[in-house]
Chains A and B, each alone.
Chain A
Amino acid sequence: MSNGVKNKMSKDNSSKSQELDQYTASVLQNGISRRSFLTRAAIGTGGLAVAGLGVGTASATTAPVVVGEQFGEVGGATVSFLPKPIAIADADIASTQTFDVIVVGAGASGVPAALSAREAGASVACLQKQAFAVSQGNTGSGVDLKTSDKSAVEALVNRLMADNQHRSHPGLIRKWAYNSGEAVSWTIDRIKQGGGQVEDQGTEPQHGIHGIADKGDRLNFVTSFCGPKPYTTGDGMRALAKTAEKAGVKFFYNTPAKQLIQDKSGKVLGVIAQTRDGKYHKFMAKKGVILSSGDYQNNKAMCDFFIPDLKNFERKQQDRTGDGFAMAYWAGGVIEPVGHTKMLHDFDAGPASMCDMPFLVVNRDGKRFVNETVEMSLMNNYLKDEHNAGHYSQVFDADYMTQAKDWPGHLYSPEELKNYMPEEPGEKKGVFPSIANTYKADTLEELAKKLECDPKNFVATVKRYNELCKKGKDEDFGKKASRMVPVLKPPFYGIHRRMRISTICSGILVNENHQVLDADGKEIPGLFIVGNLGGGFYGGVDYPLTVFGLSLGRCYTFGYLAGKYVAGLKA
């Protein structure tokens, strides 16, 4: 490990270097920024071959390097996903408006940020790429501080750090832990004011938290639920936008932000956005710009670069092209290094509460491939190839209600399962009918066809699995005997799950006030980031499901906090 950061820090910013936490120091050293390119490229003239050598050995004095005219560069290579802002002449600006705060993106973090800034007295504009507020999911959570012990909250922080393979910023996790109860309750209240369909489910849905708090310690939650499906947080955010609009937030729909406006010192002064007629508009911010434009799952080059594992998976969202990444990068921000955290789920094909039940599981070839106690949220790691592309099926027989009754999770009866079966007539309730994907059949061959896997292999797999069940020893994958239940009695059931990309949750380096830091670790005046575009909150290979609804809970919380914070700055 090089000591490059320390050197650089003590040279550029000696007073700050002492305060830098491990997370921030590491992202400054390894992250992607314009500055990291300049220093790395300066190491040698030979380009790629030497660029990989220890960054720390390079002196910080940068030889003049020709930066690509159009794109950002990493290690000497041009990266198409970081297009340099084009020059837009003042003559081409159709209108200019000034607000205290400009929020970019009306999703799970942006709408709360806009409303909270407005409630704190700021004038606010929210620019939105799509035709209305858009977001996904149902559940967003926070810690109920009033009914939790501090030692338990700290134990939760510790657990989330471990979930994140210890790569996240504990300060940001604490920021969520100690503010989320208030923020999520506020969000629920304001969604209701807008006529939205939302409730606080408390600690009940939080099955993953058992055993975290020490004996006798209390750990409780505010769990907001926008639903049931097909109602989602998207609808919830549209209700929240109504409340915000009433409070005076100005929304500009079909108006994607294109670039940031900065002065010579690097201070961010505003945003240039484009309407559908091709015209450009300036939105000047007296106090600050909050970027909340979400992830980059629809930007293929960017995904290939930061998470090559995603190559073959389908996406769940549209229009998430990582616009905020390019904007923050060119403003001097630092993107977390390669190895971003992904979220691939399917809670819709069958009951969510059965997704982690360790029934027999087969891939598209009809073959067993894993110890089925691996959670649904991690299954994608076994299905990265082009052929399987995230598809697998859970399989069980007519006796599942008795055989699996002691397993963790919650079983749906055969009657209830019909709600998830496209072949069953009648109206479906509480599900997305078009993506529900559960099947029933009287023979194994027939079931295999419905699950779109090879019938011959499938029958052989079931035969082998039944033998292992009988033996009580899983010699193929080491699953415990108590989880080995045979597939013998018709009708047979299958839930065909498709792991698709829900979101990517790594982003740009920010401090605990959600302010963007430059490559020297210094705050960029006027620039803030919330939601999945913000870094430091995750770090593992996959998003953790310990706290159900952590992602939306963090988005609401940081939106709420950042809105208030920026509104409180001097104009």
Chain B
Amino acid sequence: MKKLTVIMLSLAMSIIAGSVMAKGDQLLDQTHFEKGIKCASCHGNAEPREAVTMMKCVQCHNTEKLAKKTQDMQPTNVHNNRHFGTESDCLSCHHVHQTSENACVSCHPRWGFKVP
């Protein structure tokens, strides 16, 4: 429960601070919250809260369309790569309540993607 309180609290705080916070540093929970997306859209309505898998993300984000949208990314399009095609596990890079990470960099040390 402590975690939950922290999430609720930090969300509320960041919304107040929203206008001054650069979008690039924003966590994905706030981005989604701003678009009116409810906790349940990801976590479901059941108790205890469901763990969120990639299946949830792709219900709203079509992977083919996403790959097209970012096709000009340099040096490579993360959303259509030679290892997993358009089906990389979103959560290997994108986190929702924590800072996201770049899951390619350990093997491709010069690829400094900034993951929203």
State the A residues within 8 Å of B (CB): 130-132, 134, 230, 234, 254, 276-278, 314-316, 318, 422, 433-435, 500
Cα distance A134–B85 in the bound complex, in angstroms: 10
Cα(A298)–Cα(B59), bound, Å = 28
B108 within 8 A of A: yes
The residue from B76, B84, B108 contacting A130, defined by CB atoms under 8 A apart = B84
User: A234 near B85 (CB under 8 angstroms)?
Assistant: no
Q: Is the CB of A277 within 8 A of B55?
A: yes
Residue in A315, A316, A318, A422 whose Cβ sees the most chain B Cβ within 10 Å: A318
The reply to whether B107 and A314 contact each other, CB–CB distance below 8 Å, is yes
A316 to B83, CA, bound (A): 11
- Contact check, B83 vs A318: say whether CB atoms are below 8 A apart: yes
* Contact call B108/A131, Cβ cutoff below 8 A: no
A278-B55, A314-B107, A500-B107 provided; 17 other pairs, C-beta below 8 A?
A130-B83, A130-B87, A132-B85, A134-B83, A230-B82, A254-B87, A276-B53, A276-B54, A277-B55, A278-B53, A314-B106, A316-B107, A433-B75, A434-B75, A434-B110, A434-B111, A435-B107
1/0 contact string of B73-102 vs chain A (CB within 8 Å):
001100000111111000000000000000
CB distance from A63 to the nearest CB of B (A): 41
- Give me 29 A-to-B residue pairs in the complex whose CB atoms sit less than 8 angstroms apart, sorted by A's number: A130-B83, A131-B84, A131-B85, A131-B86, A131-B87, A132-B85, A134-B83, A230-B82, A234-B82, A254-B87, A276-B53, A276-B55, A277-B55, A278-B53, A278-B55, A314-B106, A314-B107, A315-B107, A316-B107, A318-B83, A422-B110, A433-B75, A434-B75, A434-B76, A434-B108, A434-B110, A435-B107, A435-B108, A500-B107
Instruction: Give the CA-CA distance A316 to B84 in the complex, in Å.
Output: 14
Interface of B is mostly: loop
Q: Across the two chains, which residue of chain A brings its CB closest to B108? A: A434
Closest to B75 in A: A434
- Cβ of A132: which chain B residues have Cβ within 8 Å of it? 85
Ordered nearest first, which 6 A-B pairs have the shortest CB separation? A131-B87, A434-B108, A131-B85, A131-B84, A276-B55, A132-B85
Query: Which residues of A are found within 8 Å of B110, using beta-carbon distances?
Result: 422, 434
Name which of A131, A314, A316, A435 has the most chain B CB atoms within 10 A of its CB.
A131
In the assembled complex, how far is the CB of residue B42 from the closest CB belonging to chain A, in whole angstroms?
Answer: 15
Closest residue of B by beta carbon distance from A318:
B83
A347 CB to nearest chain B CB (Å): 15
**Complex Cα distance A396/B58, Å?**
51
**How long is the Cα–Cα vector from A160 to B48 in the complex, in angstroms?**
57
Closest Cβ of chain B to A439, distance in Å, is: 13
User: Given the complex, which residues of B lie within 8 Å of A500, measured CB to CB?
Assistant: 107
- Chain B residues with CB under 8 A of A131: 84-87
Cα(A134)–Cα(B54), bound, Å: 20
Q: Which residue of B lies closest to A500 (CB)?
A: B107
Q: Which residues of chain A come closer than 8 Å to B82, judged between CB atoms?
A: 230, 234
B3 to chain A, nearest CB (A): 24
A434 partner residues in chain B, CB cutoff 8 A:
75-76, 108, 110-111
Q: How far is the CB of B9 from the nearest CB of chain A, in Å?
A: 32
- Which A residues touch B53, using CB under 8 A? 276, 278
> Which residues of chain A have C-beta atoms less than 8 A from B111's C-beta?
434
A230 to B81, CA, bound (A): 12
Q: How many angstroms from the CA of A40 to the CA of B54 in the assembled complex?
A: 43
State in angstroms the CA–CA spacing of A134 and B81 once bound together. Answer: 12
Q: How far is the CA of A225 from the CA of B113 in the complex (A)?
A: 32
Within 8 A of A (CB), among B24-70: 53-55
Bound Cα distance A276, B110 (Å): 32
Residues of B within 8 A of A276 (CB): 53-55
Residues from chain A with a CB closer than 8 A to the CB of B54 are 276
Chain A contacts of B76 at CB under 8 A?
Answer: 434
CA distance A428 to B101 in the complex (A): 28
Assembly CA distance A278 to B50 (angstroms): 13
CB distance from B59 to the nearest CB of A (A): 10
Chain A residues lying within 8 Å of B55, measured Cβ to Cβ, are 276-278
Residue in chain B with minimal CB distance to A316: B107
Q: Which residue of B lies closest to A452 (CB)?
A: B109
B28 → A minimal CB distance (Å): 21
Q: How far is the CA of A435 from the CA of B75 in the complex (A)?
A: 13
Interchain CA distance A334-B85 in the complex, whole Å: 35
Q: How far is the CB of B53 from chain A (nearest CB, A)?
A: 8
For residue A131, which residue of chain B has the nearest CB? Answer: B87
User: What's the least CB distance linking A11 to chain B, in Å?
Assistant: 49
- Nearest CB in chain A to that of B103: its residue: A318
Q: Please give the distance in Å from A393's CB to the nearest CB on chain B.
A: 15
Closest chain-B Cβ to A110's Cβ sits at a distance in Å of 17
The docked-state distance in angstroms from the alpha carbon of A91 to that of B55 is: 22
- Among A277, A434, A500, find the residue whose CB has the most chain B CB atoms closer than 10 A: A434
Cβ-closest chain A residue relative to B84: A131
Contacts of B85 in A (CB 8 A): 131-132
A526 to B82, CA, bound (A): 34
Nearest Cβ distance between residue A224 and chain B, in whole angstroms? 20
Residues in B whose Cβ lies below 8 Å from that of A130: 83-84, 87
A331 to B45, CA, bound (A): 39
Identity of the chain B residue whose Cβ is nearest the Cβ of A130 in the assembled complex: B84
Taking the closest CB of chain B, its distance from the CB of A303, in whole angstroms, is 16
Tell me the bound Cα distance from A230 to B82 in angstroms. Answer: 10
Bound complex: CA A130 to CA B82 (Å)? 11
CB distance from A444 to the nearest CB of B (A): 23
Whose C-beta in chain B lies nearest to the C-beta of A235? Answer: B82
**CA of A422 to CA of B109, assembled, Å:** 12
Q: How far is the CB of B76 from the nearest CB of chain A, in Å?
A: 8
CB A180 to nearest CB in B, in angstroms, measures: 27
- Centre residue among B54, B55, B76, B83 by max chain A CB count within 10 A: B83
